[in-house]
């Protein structure tokens, strides 16, 4: 079943671009990564799906229902961890969480304590005394304690120390195994690579690629390094080759296409060394971001 | 209306409610406490007042009112209570939605399974409850201190009941005007300057509006709609103007709901 369906969603803030013509689907049980640099439109997309803001054009459905018409009903089963966590000051964490829990029909008390213990969050502190990372933890407990079917995580790991980040990822994987669908927005690719099944790459408000994590990394691009005497980089200027770089006796490039074409070229040369490897997501990502500039 | 939002918002108002109610009681006590002295020197006082320009008396609610009578003097005290009540109500109005949005915490509430109309209604009812409790303090302290300091002088309770009875609508006008204005302003960082502007603006317009001559601008201020001197003189409300207040409530609430339901919740950019 499709949990999220977005069709041609467009948002302008006055004249400023938010997102443009964004379409994608998220299936039930997926961990869907949403990557892009700051200002690309990640938060705008999430806030539209929560009906915190209204679209200029386009449609969005969650659980098969229009998010702008059935928002309250849909949000029963949604958890949300905002990127910037602001809460009512002068309140104890426990009181804030109890207030948050009071919006849901089921009793969240047990899960709330479990999550707080797991994330090492002191429930008796006052919210305004908390560090940024601890506020993030409040957000995590708040977003998951009512056992939602779908959770939006907007840059969830910023502010968490590495140990906590790991715990948090374990938690997300565990919840996902129980059926939670996760929408994970981030600009840190390594974490998306670690966690997500599928990713959408957003750039300047537009989706530039949606692919399986495996496809994206394994099947699409190869990173090729060739070492030989008297190399002419023009020799590798084939269709599908990008980012061709030449230093001393070494040529680097990315290749997308039939790998045999490159191999045939290579076999004609007297090589000192060659490596063909999968690029990291980071490198693929840089590729998408630089393509239009070159 | 959502009970959990209502109780949460009401509890958040606890401190402010205590402070405003205490201020109301204190002002009633201090001014009524001066009454015995005032009444004793009534003759001298009336002579002095006669020599002051009538515009001045009008501005401070002392024209055509016998300050040596209990009811007359109370109507003068009531003007000060009105200023406090207007301040409190406009602060609540400006603070209802705008403060949260200014501090970026509305995401918390709006991303919950509630409609925006439910949020606004619950918050309005919580504010109205707080105002009603203050209203009750105004009634109680007025009658207690009048009884305490009238020293056996006779008085007619009816105009006093009329004045106190006008508080509820008077508060709601400022509450809904504050709310409507706050939704027009891009971002409200602090409530106090806006609240002051609205309530004192309305007060000054009433007090000095007569000086404007033919332009009847002062007719729009709620201070004029519930003018205590009018109530004492006529032992009745100025019904067409009360109707104007009610219309202002209707318009600002309708606008506020329309605007709040449709607008984008601000976020950190």
| ipTM here | 0.86
Mutation pick from A103, A106, A132, A150 vs chain B, by most beta carbons of B within 10 Å, is: A103
Rounded Cα gap, residues A168 and A174, in angstroms: 10
Place of tokens 């009903």: A73
Structure-block tokens of residue B193 = 């300057």
Rounded Cα gap, residues B130 and B147, in angstroms: 26
Rounded Cα gap, residues A100 and A81, in angstroms: 13
Note whether B108 contacts A83, CB cutoff 8 Å.
no
pLDDT of residue A6: 97
Q: If residue A7 lies in a helix (H) or strand (E), which one and from where to where?
A: strand A2-13
A-chain residues near B258 (CB < 8 A): none
> How many angstroms separate the most distant Cα atoms in chain A?
73
Rounded Cα gap, residues B94 and B196, in angstroms: 10
From the CA of A278, how many Å to the nearest CA of chain B? Answer: 36
pLDDT of residue A219: 61
B-chain residues near A43 (CB < 8 A): 267
Structure-block tokens of residue A2 = 């499709």
pLDDT of residue B137: 97
The torsion region of residue A257 among left (phi > 0), alpha (psi -120 to 50) and beta comes to: left
| Cα→Cα distances A198→A61, A183, A202, Å | 19, 10, 13
In chain B, which among 10-39 make CB contacts under 8 A with chain A? 12
| Cα→Cα distances B252→A73, B66, B90, B174, B200, Å | 29, 37, 13, 10, 19
Helices A109-118/A132-144 angle, 10° precision: 140
Q: Tell me whether A36 touches chain B (CB under 8 Å).
A: no
Assess whether pLDDT exceeds 60 at residue B269: no
**Three-class SS of residue A9?**
strand
B-chain residues near A87 (CB < 8 A): 105, 108
Lowest mean pLDDT among A40-49, A170-179, B192-201: B192-201
Rounded Cα gap, residues A18 and A9, in angstroms: 10
Q: How many residues does chain B have?
A: 269
Note whether B267 contacts A104, CB cutoff 8 Å.
no
> Which DSSP state fits B64?
T
Rounded Cα gap, residues A33 and A200, in angstroms: 6
**Mean pLDDT of all residues in A80-109:** 90
Note whether B113 contacts A54, CB cutoff 8 Å.
no
- What's the whole-number average pLDDT of chain B? 89
Rounded Cα gap, residues A197 and A40, in angstroms: 21
Note whether A86 contacts B110, CB cutoff 8 Å.
no
Note whether B105 contacts A87, CB cutoff 8 Å.
yes
Rounded Cα gap, residues B111 and A50, in angstroms: 6
Q: Closest residue of B to A38, CA-based?
A: B269
pLDDT in tens, A98-144: 999 999 998 999 999 999 999 999 999 998 889 989 999 999 999 99
Rounded Cα gap, residues A112 and A117, in angstroms: 9
Note whether A52 contacts B115, CB cutoff 8 Å.
no
In percent, the amount of chain A with pLDDT more than 90 equals 59
The torsion region of residue A159 among left (phi > 0), alpha (psi -120 to 50) and beta comes to: left
Structure-block tokens of residue B253 = 């609430």
- Output the DSSP codes for A227-288: EETT--GGGG--TTEEEEEEETTEEEEEE-S-HHHHHHHHHTS-EEEEEEEPPPHHHHHHHH
Q: Tell me whether B103 touches chain A (CB under 8 Å).
A: yes
- Output the DSSP codes for A40-94: SSHHHHHHHHTTSS--SEEEEEETTEETTTSHHHHHTTEEEE-SS----SS-BHH
Lowest mean pLDDT among A219-233, A236-250, B44-58, B160-174: B44-58
Q: Which residues contact A95 (CB under 8 A, 6 or more apart)?
A: none
Rounded Cα gap, residues A10 and A44, in angstroms: 10
pLDDT in tens, A154-202: 999 888 999 999 999 999 999 999 999 999 999 887 788 889 999 999 9
Q: Tell me whether B111 touches chain A (CB under 8 Å).
A: yes
- Which pTM does this prediction carry? 0.86
Place of tokens 């504050």: B178
Q: Which residues contact A286 (CB under 8 A, 6 or more apart)?
A: none
Note whether B105 contacts A82, CB cutoff 8 Å.
no
From the CA of B114, how many Å to the nearest CA of chain A? Answer: 5
pLDDT in tens, B66-96: 778 899 899 989 999 999 999 999 999 999 9
Note whether A75 contacts B108, CB cutoff 8 Å.
no
Structure-block tokens of residue B269 = 């950019």
Note whether A72 contacts B268, CB cutoff 8 Å.
no
| Cα→Cα distances B84→A166, A263, B171, Å | 55, 85, 10
**Mean pLDDT of all residues in A12-38:** 93
Q: Hey, which of A222-236, B10-24, B95-109 has the most confident mean pLDDT?
A: B10-24
pLDDT of residue B218: 77
**Burial class of residue B168 (count of CB atoms within 10 Å of its CB; 0-12, 13-18, 19+):** middle
């Amino acid at each position: 079943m499709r949990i999220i369906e977005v069709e041609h969603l467009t948002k302008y803030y006055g004249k400023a671009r938010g997102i443009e013509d964004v379409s994608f689907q998220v299936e039930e049980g997926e961990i869907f990564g949403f990557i892009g640099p700051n200002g690309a439109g990640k938060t705008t997309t999430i806030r539209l799906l929560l009906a915190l803001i209204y679209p200029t054009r386009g449609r969005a459905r969650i659980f098969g229902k229009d998010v702008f018409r059935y928002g309250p009903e849909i949000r029963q089963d949604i958890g949300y961890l905002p990127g910037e966590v602001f809460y009512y000051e002068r309140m104890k964490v426990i009181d804030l969480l109890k207030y948050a829990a009071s919006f849901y029909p089921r009793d969240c008390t047990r899960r709330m304590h479990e999550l707080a213990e797991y994330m090492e969050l002191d429930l008796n502190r006052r919210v305004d005394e908390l560090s940024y990372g601890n506020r993030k933890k409040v957000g995590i407990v708040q977003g998951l304690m009512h056992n939602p079917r779908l959770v939006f995580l907007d840059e969830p790991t910023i502010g968490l120390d590495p140990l906590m980040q790991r715990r948090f990822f374990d938690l997300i994987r565990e919840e996902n195994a129980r059926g939670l669908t996760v929408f994970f927005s981030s600009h840190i690719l390594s974490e998306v690579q670690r966690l997500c099944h599928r990713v959408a790459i957003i750039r300047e408000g537009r989706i530039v690629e949606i692919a399986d994590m495996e496809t994206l990394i394994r099947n699409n691009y190869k990173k090729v390094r060739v070492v030989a005497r008297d190399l002419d980089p023009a020799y590798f200027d084939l269709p599908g080759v990008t980012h061709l770089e030449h230093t001393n006796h070494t040529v680097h490039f990315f290749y997308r296409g039939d790998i045999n074409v490159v191999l045939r070229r290579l076999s004609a040369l007297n090589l000192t060394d060659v490596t063909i490897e999968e690029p990291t997501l980071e490198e693929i990502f840089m590729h998408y971001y630089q393509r239009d500039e070159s | 209306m959502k009970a959990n939002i209502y109780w949460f918002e009401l509890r958040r108002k606890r401190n402010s409610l205590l402070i405003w109610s205490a201020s109301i009681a204190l002002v009633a006590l201090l001014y009524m406490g001066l009454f015995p002295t005032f009444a004793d020197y009534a003759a001298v006082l009336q002579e002095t007042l006669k020599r002051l320009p009538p515009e001045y008396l009008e501005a401070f609610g002392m024209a055509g009112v016998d300050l040596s009578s209990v009811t007359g003097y109370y109507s003068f005290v009531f003007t000060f209570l009105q200023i406090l009540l207007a301040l409190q109500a406009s602060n609540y109005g400006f603070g209802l939605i705008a403060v949260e949005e200014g501090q970026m915490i509305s995401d918390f509430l709006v991303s919950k399974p509630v409609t925006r109309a439910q949020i606004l209604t619950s918050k309005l009812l919580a504010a109205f409850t707080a105002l009603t409790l203050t209203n009750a303090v105004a009634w109680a302290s007025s009658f207690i201190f009048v009884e305490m300091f009238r020293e056996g002088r006779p008085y007619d309770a009816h105009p006093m009941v009329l004045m106190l009875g006008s508080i509820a609508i008077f508060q709601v006008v400022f509450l809904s005007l504050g709310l409507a204005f706050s939704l027009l302003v891009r971002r409200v960082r602090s409530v106090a300057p806006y609240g002051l502007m609205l309530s004192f603006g309305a007060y000054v317009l009433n007090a000095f509006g007569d000086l404007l001559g033919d332009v009847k601008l002062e007719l729009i201020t709620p201070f004029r709609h519930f003018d205590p001197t009018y109530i004492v003189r006529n032992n009745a409300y100025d019904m067409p103007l009360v109707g104007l207040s009610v219309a202002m409530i209707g318009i600002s609430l309708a606008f506020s709901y329309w605007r709040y339901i449709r607008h984008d919740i601000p976020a950190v950019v």
